[in-house]
Structure 1
């Protein structure tokens, strides 16, 4: 399964690199990349304005039909705003919120994501 992600500070990129899975990093210059395979999105937590490129990507061609879940990274100090970007995307596109992790995650977070992907049957 492909991992599609967006990283402003590098924290999300570091986490995705730990997964050692096929990945695609979105950039603000061209988020309109069609995919024709199942994928999950891993997103940091930022204002909608900053993460709108994720919506642009999901809504490109048939990408929404291949979206299988969303995971989010953030800072637990933000309390109820922790990973709100991932929560909002999961709700908006009616897919599961598969995992939440802090900052660049740890080995347990990596194992949880890999297990979820295996459980989805796409790895």
Structure 2
């Protein structure tokens, strides 16, 4: 099992960053190092060479969440980072988050990125996530990373 998890993410309201913090603590107890890059804090694009997982909250504008309109806002820099120098080829999956009150818009951006870039949607969680979300997502990350590295 790999002893390192690389994460590319964006956090605007602090929810995703808080979840990454909980995930990092969990992995640390397992002897696994987490290297996390918030593209909002380091907006200068670099070529990524190591396998990584992506976290993306849903920030959308317009529509009612069920049948009309939803345009990604505020998080498009993450898509640009993935596209830069084909960084997405090293991504073994994406994890989406959001607020379930927004119906079909919940984690929608992550689903759109999975389709756009051709990597799997690994999991979803709401807002800052729960302890059970941390355990479930950590397990799925390690499983997907193992598949990707083969």
Q: TM-score higher than 0.5 here?
A: yes
Q: Flag as ranges the 4+ runs of structure 1 deviating above 6 A.
A: none
Write the deviation string for residues 64-106 of structure 1: whole angstroms up to 9, x where unpaired.
1101111011101111111111111111111111111010101
Name the SS for the 1:33 alignment partner. Answer: coil
- The aligned counterpart of 1:24 is 37
- The aligned counterpart of 2:94 is 70
Farther off after superposition, 10-19 or 28-37: 28-37
Q: 1:41 aligns with which of 50, 54, 57?
A: 54
Asked whether the 8 Å contact 1:28–1:53 carries over to 2, the reply is no
**Aligned mates of 2:46, 2:7 — CA distance in 1:** 13
Structure 2 gaps of 5+ residues are 25-33, 61-71
**Aligned mates of 1:108, 1:2 — CA distance in 2:** 21
Structure 1 gaps of 5+ residues are none
Q: Which structure's CA Rg is the greater one?
A: 2
**Aligned mates of 1:22, 1:66 — CA distance in 2:** 15
> TM-score, with normalisation over the residues of structure 2?
0.76
Q: How many residues align?
A: 122
**Aligned mates of 1:94, 1:12 — CA distance in 2:** 22
Write the deviation string for residues 32-53 of structure 1: whole angstroms up to 9, x where unpaired.
1221111111011113231110
